[in-house]
Amino acid sequence: MIVFPDVIDARRRIEKVVNRTYLDHTATLSRLSGNEVYLKPENLQKTGAFKVRGAANFILKFDPPGLRKGVITGSSGNHGQAVAYAAALADYPAVVVVPEDVSPAKVAAIKGYGAEIVHHGNTSQERIEKAEELAAEKELTFIHPFDDPWVMEGQGSIGLEILEDLPDVDAVLVPVGGGGLISGIATAIKGGKPDAKVYGVEPAASNSMYRSLQRGKVTELTAINTLADGLRTNKPGLLTFSLVQEHVDDILLVTEEEIKKALLFLLERGKLLAEPSGAVTVAAVLANKVPLQGKKIAVVISGGNVDLRLVGKLIGG
């Protein structure tokens, strides 16, 4: 379990290696939704997504001798990129297990940071198992993409920055895949401003956290079909699930059509390039799924690593 002071420590630890992203009021989204809406663009983070916060915290917190042989992870791309980046800064070798259908942009970026790539399977489960197997075989340190306290603490630094920039925030919207990002942010927000709401957003076509909360236990999806490749997790983690149960007010669901619209809206109106996973929160605002009026809402755009050919198709279609 992680608590508020852990997130404060993590933020200090990673301050020098991650970007302090801004929180910007948006007039258009505010007018459309009847709230005061502020965007937190983690697409402008190092490596193009928030995941570098968790990976850097893990690598900087881990006892160095244990890491010398290197680190390994299984990730659909952004966590892999984050681990590769943070490992390179600390001068450790890194191996990243990616799915067979990973986007070429993500592979190029991971290789660019000097990490070795292994292609395996299609589900998060399959590549995590492969990474754990290789970790044992090669004596590498495994870094889980979400179900790890140090990773969650690092992601939580986003919540502290939001509290600093908007001390009277009423609600925070966070994309949910495995739940590491929202676990960290919710720990920070509920620790610093207990009456603020924290809402997760999932694609309706990949809603494992939503279903798990409804059933009161970790629930695995068998079919996932969403454009949001960073949110294609078939089940939440045990740690993330219990933190979400404790701190998160609700999970909102968005359709694929709403995600596409939000991505194009951010590009055209906000001059921000988000990936589909990063745009689900804006999709929830645009589709009026946030059960609030007249409130100050911070909206996390979690990443911007998207294949431009996909963006071209969305614009064309």
Give the binding site for ligand PLP (CB under 6 A): 49, 51, 78-79, 146, 175-182, 230-231, 233, 275, 277-278, 302-303
Smallest separation (angstroms) from ligand PLP to the CB of 316: 23
Q: Give the contacts of 77 (CB within 8 A, at least 6 positions apart).
A: 98, 102, 103, 106, 107, 109, 110, 229, 230, 305
Smallest separation (angstroms) from ligand PLP to the CB of 180: 3
Give the residue with the Cβ less far from ligand PLP, 99 or 303: 303
27: exposed, middle or buried (C-beta count within 10 Å: 0-12, 13-18, 19+)? Answer: exposed
Smallest separation (angstroms) from ligand PLP to the CB of 209: 8
**d(C-alpha 206, C-alpha 229), whole Å:** 10
Q: Which of 51, 106, 235, 261 is catalytic?
A: 51
Q: Centre a 10 Å sphere on the Cβ of residue 123 and count the other Cβ atoms it contains.
A: 18
Could you tell me which of 86, 35, 84 has the C-alpha nearest to residue 59?
A: 86
Q: Centre a 10 Å sphere on the Cβ of residue 88 and count the other Cβ atoms it contains.
A: 16
Give the residue with the Cβ less far from ligand PLP, 36 or 58: 58
Smallest separation (angstroms) from ligand PLP to the CB of 137: 26
**d(C-alpha 47, C-alpha 66), whole Å:** 25
Smallest separation (angstroms) from ligand PLP to the CB of 191: 18
Ranked by CB distance to ligand PLP, the top (closest) residue is: 303
Could you tell me which of 192, 142, 203 has the C-alpha nearest to residue 163?
A: 192
Q: Active site includes 261? A: no
Q: Centre a 10 Å sphere on the Cβ of residue 295 and count the other Cβ atoms it contains.
A: 18
Q: Where are the beta strands (DSSP E) in the chain?
A: 24-26, 36-41, 71-74, 94-98, 116-119, 141-142, 171-175, 197-203, 250-254, 296-301
**d(C-alpha 317, C-alpha 230), whole Å:** 22
**d(C-alpha 276, C-alpha 274), whole Å:** 6
Smallest separation (angstroms) from ligand PLP to the CB of 167: 25
Q: Active site includes 217? A: no
Give the residue with the Cβ less far from ligand PLP, 36 or 109: 109
Active site residues: 51, 302
